[in-house]
């Protein structure tokens, strides 16, 4: 079943008539229409692109003329003059286009909407009877369709290609931004398109063991630990991956032990993950295993991934929902040691009918 | 005067009490606080970051904990748990934080807001008396402060470094994405940070003469015309630039003539641009000059630039406002010829007290 139809069914279940999507990620997940994101909200838009979906699975997309014509799925499309060779009232054109699409499709009754992205600019244009449904939508999106599984696999493969390139380029004398640029470019060539990117490439004990530091101009030296987290967006879907390794393949004993623990815990994750397992139990299993080996991490054990780089379910101690088949899950045990360096071992797993599989394996060694 | 104070004065002029900023670009322009944009709206946010500014120039920023602590300017900051190691209601935390900041600063009376980004999630939290002021804000932002002039200059310099790198890397056998990756990486190394990027790098007669085509895997050949439009975002501010040149420096007569016309028109722009000139008259002068040389372009003659890559004033035939000192203006005459290839010559100009100056010159030759 297409995600438009699945969303229509959710709208019915919720006792509503129409869903209004305004998140770039949700729009892509439901319709396949890719909203450009890399420069933030486009200066040629009057507001976030909008998708309207009925309980019967009729869908319409409204977007600026700079993003139209993708014909990515089974929906009507209406573009408005965002870019034009004249003084342009983008918000006015946007409002008019959404009104026209709503009239054309016959939007009425009760709507459900996304609280984190619904714009005030539309508040007087759509039916007053409205309820946020972010959590229900997140649950729907967590289970991927056949089309999405293909896109997720491609994105994970691009990340894996990036991980191999990171090993090749991480040599003494290069600097972080230089190596990162080479990795990103390799992923773009593999994807055949520009990619948005999330992640980090940090070198040396101090940088690799500090969470949240930006990629900079530090020069790599022999023996440097590296944390390399690569998340490319390909055709609107995110890959993700992380490894820790050492320049010159001369890891310290401490770094080797940490890597072995993270990798072992990731292997445990692959064998434990299955439909019906509670997320918090899985999270607890992974944390306990790391602890038994003498390590811990201050963040989630992982997260769902799809048209958003982090999405439901987040692997945290109080998430009581159950894994389902065709969820895509990042698992990322690691530790950040001031005297050794930091690392995570992170791969994408697909929940299968009976267990889990690594979507796009790459070489998870530290030297 | 700081942009926070300038905005306070605008709020007074408009007879309002508080301004609410929700655009990543406006927030950066007014406060210096850089909102990350490259992956679209952060999955760890509950809505767009918010700035509140009083008529007296008191300012507060609300942002997720992943973006806080920049201390970029003279404002209060309140972060909320966007990222946390537990099930997290980002929208709830976001609403609570905005309410707290509004209460702390004493937001009341009349507010002005940005129609293109104000979120519905805040509609019940801020005073009901509200008016959009997008156009007034755009006019304020068009004239840059001393701090902004420095940031714009840096961004333009990074673009110029990219243009030089483009000449170096554009050799037979390379492909578009590969060369683009090298250019981007060079700009990131020059900037000392990751950059968001807008623009294009397209090769060959067909690709360079077709507007709106994505960068792909076409292999460069000797004699290929190239259109190279580079716009990097550095510290929240955009550079921009464009040139057309030829692989192997063997331009056809037609390409050379087009390049000379575009460059001559750009030089005319530098000598004509000055405070008090009407935008539409400037636009008409440039179009007429290109026409007198046998060329035309189907787009704007250029655009304002700053914390957004395209902003007021857009250089279009019906824009009647006047240029002012310290506006930053991109001018981009060119043409797109199916038998010759396409190009634009585009540099950043600053409107000075009496005329204009090129902000960061680069080699504008076609071979």
Q: Tens-of-pLDDT digits for all 367 residues of chain A?
A: 999 999 999 999 999 999 999 999 999 999 999 999 999 999 999 999 999 999 999 999 999 999 999 989 999 999 999 999 999 999 999 999 999 999 999 999 999 999 999 999 999 999 999 999 999 999 999 999 999 999 999 999 999 999 999 999 999 999 999 999 999 999 999 999 999 999 999 999 999 999 989 999 999 999 999 999 999 999 999 999 999 999 998 999 999 999 999 999 999 999 999 999 999 999 999 999 999 999 999 999 999 999 999 999 999 999 999 999 999 999 999 999 999 999 999 999 999 999 999 999 999 999 8
Q: What is the rounded (10 degree) CA torsion for A57, A62, A63, A68? A: 70
How do beta strands A59-64 and A76-80 pair?
parallel
**Is-contact A46 A86, C-beta < 8 A?**
no
Q: In this complex, do B299 and A85 lie within 8 Å of one another by their Cβ atoms?
A: yes
Which of A115, A197, A300 has the CB atom closest to B91's CB atom? A115
Which residue of A115, A181, A314 is in closest CB contact with B121? A115
pLDDT at A71: 87
Closest CA to B346 of B265, B281, B226: B265
Residue B233 CB-half CA count within 13 A: 23
| Cβ contact, residue pair A46, B116, below 8 Å | yes
What is d(CA A235, CA B230) in angstroms, rounded to the nearest whole number?
23
Q: Could you tell me the pTM of the whole model?
A: 0.97
Nearest one of B90, B150, B317 to A134, comparing CA atoms: B90
Given an 8 Å threshold on Cβ–Cβ distance, is A40 in contact with B40? yes
Compute the distance between CA of residue A262 and CA of residue A286 in angstroms, rounded to an integer.
10
Residue of B nearest to A193 (CA): B216
User: What domains lie within chain A, and their CATH numbers?
Assistant: 3-142 (3.40.350.10), 146-358 (3.90.230.10)
> Residue A103: how many CB atoms within 10 A of its CB?
11
**Contacts with B185 from chain A: Cβ below 8 Å:** 177-178, 180-182, 184-185
What chain B residue is nearest to A215 in terms of C-alpha separation? B193
Interchain CB distance below 8 Å, A196 and B38:
yes
Q: Which residues of B touch A194 (CB under 8 A)?
A: 177, 180, 214-215
Token pair listed for A21: 């999507």
Contact A123 B121 (CB under 8 A): no
Helix (H) or strand (E) holding B136: helix B134-142
* CB of B59 closer than 8 Å to CB of B74: yes
Q: Which tokens sit at B63? A: 């942002």
CA–CA min distance B254, chain A (Å): 26
A&B contacts, CB < 8 Å: 188
Q: Compute the distance between CA of residue A84 and CA of residue A115 in angstroms, rounded to an integer.
A: 31
Chain A residues close to B181, C-beta within 8 Å: 181-182, 184-186, 188-189
pLDDT (tens digit per residue) in B77-110 = 999 999 999 999 999 999 999 999 999 999 999 9
**Half-sphere exposure at residue A152, Cβ-oriented, CA atoms within 13 angstroms:** 28
Judge contact between B159 and B188, C-beta under 8 A.
no
Angle among Cα B295, B273, B342 to the nearest 5 degrees reads 25
Model pLDDT for residues B238-284, shown as the tens digit of each residue: 999 999 999 998 999 999 999 999 999 999 999 999 999 999 999 99
Residues of A in contact with B194 (CB under 8 A): 177, 180, 214-215
Q: Angle at the Cα of A335 (from A331 to A338), degrees rounded to 5?
A: 155
**A334/A337 Cα distance (integer angstroms):** 10
């Amino acid at each position: 079943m297409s995600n438009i139809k699945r969303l229509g069914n959710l709208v019915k279940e919720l006792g509503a008539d129409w869903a209004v999507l305004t998140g770039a990620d949700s729009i892509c997940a439901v319709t396949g229409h890719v909203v450009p994101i890399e420069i933030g909200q486009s200066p040629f838009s009057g507001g976030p692109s909008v998708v309207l979906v009925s309980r019967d699975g009729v869908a319409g997309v409204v977007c600026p003329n700079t993003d139209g014509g993708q014909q990515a799925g089974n929906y009507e499309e209406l573009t408005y003059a965002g870019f034009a060779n004249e003084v342009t009232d983008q918000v006015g054109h946007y409002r008019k286009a959404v009104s026209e699409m709503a009239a054309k499709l016959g939007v009425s009754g009760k709507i459900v909407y996304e609280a984190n992205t619904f714009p005030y600019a539309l508040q007087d244009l759509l039916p007053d009877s409205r309820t946020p449904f972010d959590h229900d939508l997140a649950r729907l999106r967590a289970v991927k369709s056949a089309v999405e599984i293909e896109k997720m696999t491609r994105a994970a493969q691009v990340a894996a290609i990036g991980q191999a390139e990171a090993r090749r380029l991480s040599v003494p004398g290069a600097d972080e931004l230089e190596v990162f640029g080479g990795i990103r470019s390799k992923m773009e060539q593999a994807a055949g398109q520009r990619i948005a990117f999330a992640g980090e490439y940090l070198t040396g004990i101090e940088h690799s063991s500090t969470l949240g530091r930006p990629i900079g101009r530090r020069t790599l030296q022999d023996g440097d630990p590296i944390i390399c987290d690569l998340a490319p967006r390909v055709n609107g879907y995110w890959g993700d991956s992380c490894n820790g390794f050492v320049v010159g393949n001369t890891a310290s004993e401490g770094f080797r032990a940490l890597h072995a623990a993270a990798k072992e815990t990731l292997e445990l994750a692959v064998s434990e993950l299955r439909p019906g397992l509670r997320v918090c139990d899985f999270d607890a299993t992974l944390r306990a295993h790391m602890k038994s080996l003498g390590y811990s991490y201050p963040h989630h054990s992982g997260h769902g991934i799809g048209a958003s780089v982090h999405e439901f379910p987040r692997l945290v101690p109080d998430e009581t929902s159950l894994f389902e088949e065709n969820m895509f899950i990042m698992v990322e045990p690691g530790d950040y040691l001031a005297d050794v360096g930091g690392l995570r071992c992170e791969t994408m797993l697909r929940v299968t009918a009976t267990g889990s599989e690594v979507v796009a394996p790459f070489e998870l060694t530290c030297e």
